[in-house]
A and B are shown apart, each in its own frame.
Chain A
């Protein structure tokens, strides 16, 4: 097989990119109209969409880092895909701007109101951390970390395509090791800031790991879907084989169990301790139809995919795996929705069209950008020293 630059370029990339861009623009315009109609609803829906796509981007960054640290063989063939997902992170800073500067903070975060803090002894205790300037400084620090890591690692990866650079593997590893530390800290505090502080009285030490575990499941789901769609166009049919899908499926399975482990740890310890200041968070996710969402999350994000993905065959039947990947993406969104919206609609679930418009708005731009990155260069790292081994890889 010829592994050169031209064989693995997407030729008809423009079309899908354009579709995504159009959907994105329509979604954003519609959301803009929503913004003028109901700011509160808009920002809550927007935050869900924002964290949904950002966590997927962070999942891409995590897989890139872990790839350089562990040098697994099987993942070489899908490396360009998660690298391109990672490259969406610098874009997400633009989508953060409305939250930061267009009134998002005061709509979303109770602690940002000075008069609320004045009457709340607990919030006064936390004011050293939960205040607007520090919140913004932190947010931009997270984005700076992510953007720098994404640019550095992506640039080196492209450089590897030009000609054989054996030293790059070592250099990418040298960046990834401290990168992983920064990643762990930034995703933890980003989840505390953006999601946990929506209910500023509530706290849970596992919260950052919980958000991280959801990011892992969703990025694997997206990698599977992208690989399958490339396969449809005839690209990579012999490169990303059923063996690789089997592994991706196994990993998605492992991480959805990991997610369930985190979710259960959080719920179970709070349920058992039964201290009102902690249980209040789950109590907010129980009234009316919120109960259905809470239980639906248990079933949809864990029980059902756990049972369905268990047999070997289901991970090797590609259309089925694709359906399951799509399913996991849906439930990642439900998860994010479940984290955010109970702070707005206390009584019961109240779906809004803006939930969809913001999701597709940010998502369209995300996919367009991702696809453009993927298409600009060969879709597999053609000079990775382990590529050949990776293609021939089989599950034992």
Chain B
């Protein structure tokens, strides 16, 4: 049998209990843990000691490039490569380039926001040890769970399970995978 322990999960009653549990787990020194809930809980980032997502800066940086690329495309195609007179406007009519530049910038940024979020979240990932657990399915309905991964340096099956029970977790379950 090559089955090994992937982590431990435990249920908590409501958002408030999950928030408190997160603080306890954080203070205990765990790093690779997560708090699962059907909707985002405000104040959870602080409770878990999480840093802000860097997605904003990624999108911002690429938006600048997209703006320049969008403007550059119009400048080069209409102003340089293929010049023609239309309604008496100059070849390079920067005033008229704004709508398309804006569209290109927004389109690119939206793609980066969506796929950047997926990349940062490691999605898509259709198979995950947590999906083996029946009670984990409650997360997308009304469950509030803490999971601690076995790869955490402080992880120890017995101690971690006991700790989760100590801080009020119920249905403590060891997750295995092969």
Query: A interface vs B, CB < 8 Å?
Result: 264, 267-268, 271-272, 274, 310-312, 394, 396
With A274-B88, A396-B42 known as contacts, the answer to whether A268 contacts B95 (CB < 8 A) is yes
Residue of B at shortest CB range from A307?
Answer: B64
Q: Which residues of A contact B96 (CB under 8 A)?
A: 268, 272
**Among residues 72 to 91 in chain B, which have CB atoms less than 8 Å away from a CB atom of chain A?**
87-89
How many B residues have CB within 8 A of the partner chain?
Answer: 9
With A310-B60, A312-B56, A396-B42 known as contacts, the answer to whether A271 contacts B88 (CB < 8 A) is no
**Among residues 85 to 130 in chain B, which have CB atoms less than 8 Å away from a CB atom of chain A?**
87-89, 95-96, 98
Query: B interface vs A, CB < 8 Å?
Result: 42, 56, 60, 87-89, 95-96, 98
The reply to whether B56 and A271 contact each other, CB–CB distance below 8 Å, is no
With A312-B56, A396-B42 known as contacts, the answer to whether A272 contacts B88 (CB < 8 A) is no
The reply to whether B88 and A264 contact each other, CB–CB distance below 8 Å, is no
Residue of B at shortest CB range from A274?
Answer: B88
Tell me the bound Cα distance from A127 to B160 in angstroms. 87
Residue of B at shortest CB range from A396?
Answer: B42
Residue of A at shortest CB range from B63?
Answer: A310
Tell me the bound Cα distance from A264 to B102 in angstroms. 13
Residue of A at shortest CB range from B88?
Answer: A274
Pick from A268, A310, A312, A396: contact of B98, CB below 8 A: A268
Tell me the bound Cα distance from A271 to B90 in angstroms. 12
Closest 8 CB pairs of A and B: A271-B95, A396-B42, A268-B95, A274-B88, A272-B96, A310-B60, A264-B98, A312-B56
Interface of chain B: mostly helix, strand, loop or mixed: helix
Interface of chain A: mostly helix, strand, loop or mixed: helix
Q: Which residues of B contact A268 (CB under 8 A)?
A: 95-96, 98
Q: Which residues of A contact B88 (CB under 8 A)?
A: 274
Q: Which residues of B contact A271 (CB under 8 A)?
A: 95
**14 intermolecular pairs with C-beta atoms under 8 Å apart:** A267-B95, A268-B95, A268-B96, A268-B98, A271-B95, A272-B87, A272-B89, A272-B95, A272-B96, A274-B87, A274-B88, A311-B60, A312-B56, A394-B42
Q: Which residues of B contact A272 (CB under 8 A)?
A: 87, 89, 95-96
Q: Which residues of A contact B87 (CB under 8 A)?
A: 272, 274
Tell me the bound Cα distance from A272 to B56 in angstroms. 36
Q: Which residues of A contact B95 (CB under 8 A)?
A: 267-268, 271-272
Tell me the bound Cα distance from A91 to B163 in angstroms. 68
Tell me the bound Cα distance from A161 to B56 in angstroms. 42
Tell me the bound Cα distance from A272 to B96 in angstroms. 8
Q: Shortest distance in angstroms between A260's beta carbon and chain B's nearest beta carbon?
A: 11
Q: Which residues of B contact A264 (CB under 8 A)?
A: 98
Q: Shortest distance in angstroms between A298's beta carbon and chain B's nearest beta carbon?
A: 11
Besides the contacts A268-B95, A271-B95, A311-B60, what 6 more A-B pairs have beta carbons closer than 8 Å?
A: A264-B98, A272-B96, A274-B87, A310-B60, A312-B56, A394-B42
Tell me the bound Cα distance from A192 to B68 in angstroms. 38
Q: Shortest distance in angstroms between B173's beta carbon and chain A's nearest beta carbon?
A: 31
Q: Shortest distance in angstroms between B41's beta carbon and chain A's nearest beta carbon?
A: 11
Q: Shortest distance in angstroms between A262's beta carbon and chain B's nearest beta carbon?
A: 14
Tell me the bound Cα distance from A396 to B52 in angstroms. 11
Tell me the bound Cα distance from A335 to B82 in angstroms. 38
